[in-house]
Structure 1
Amino acid sequence: MPIKPTVEEAQRRLRIDADLAADLESAIDQAHAEALAFLDLSLYADDAALAAAADASGIVATADIIAAQLLLTDALVGNNSLQDRESKREAARNMLRPHRRMGV
């Protein structure tokens, strides 16, 4: 599984026009960075990549992590009110929270 959504996946799942592809690519990168900052860990495409990195705190990307990044992407490029943007961001954080690295 990839560690962030593709432009094509975001266009299909978020129903965003192809003419916004450049904006969408930038928004996906921003959403991915926001997710990583919230998680406070690195994402890997599969177990082999995680093992190769020898990253004790990293995790393999899952469908819910990708879905959370799509919500964050939609908050950035979608036609949203301020309340809708914040609602999508909060929903994304709730999806990411079970995977978040918590301090010891």
Structure 2
Amino acid sequence: MSNPTQPTVEEALLRLRLDADLVDDVANAIPQARAQVESYLKGPLCADAEAVAAAIAAGSRNATLCTPDVIAAQLLFVDVLVGSNDIQAQESKRTAAYAMLKPLRYMGI
């Protein structure tokens, strides 16, 4: 069963136009990308409002509802980790991912 708070390997391969022979690299990069997002947002990603409420009840001040823009930011981080990017492209993608996440950083939505 897939985790709704992170992209699937198939989604990453398709949306990032990566070769299928990178499937293992992508599979390893997805949890890393999710961890980068959770670290930046300073809290867990949650699949739905009930999960956000449960995380808050458990003491997380910054639980964030995982929306399509959060998935898109994770995909950018995956691309940085496994795509064939030069340093400038990597930095550009990181900057874009953080820009997508910045409005959510302290909102805890």
Q: Verify same fold: TM over 0.5.
A: yes
Cα distance, 1:17 vs. partner? 1.5
Cα distance, 1:74 vs. partner? 0.5
Per the alignment, residue 84 of structure 2 pairs with 79
Cα distance, 1:56 vs. partner? 4.3
What amino acid maps onto 2:87 in structure 1?
A: L
Gaps of 5+ in 2: none
The count of residues paired between Structure 1 and Structure 2 equals: 102
Contact 1:45 1:60 in 2 (8 A): yes
CA RMSD across the alignment: 1.6
Gaps of 5+ in 1: none
Q: How do residues 34-49 of structure 1 correspond to structure 2 at under 5 angstroms?
A: 34-49=36-51
Cα distance, 1:81 vs. partner? 0.4
Cα distance, 1:59 vs. partner? 1.8
Contact 1:35 1:69 in 2 (8 A): yes
Per the alignment, residue 33 of structure 2 pairs with 31
Using structure 2 for the length normalisation, give the TM-score. Answer: 0.86
List, as ranges, runs of 4+ consecutive aligned residues in structure 1 with deviation greater than 4 Å: none
Aligned counterparts of 2:36 and 2:61: Cα–Cα separation in 1: 21
- 1:65 aligned onto 2:70: yes
Deviation readout 1:12-71 (Å, 9 max, x if unpaired) = 100111211110011111111111111111110011222233244312101101000001
SS in 1 for 2:18: coil
The alignment-based identity, stated in percent, is: 53
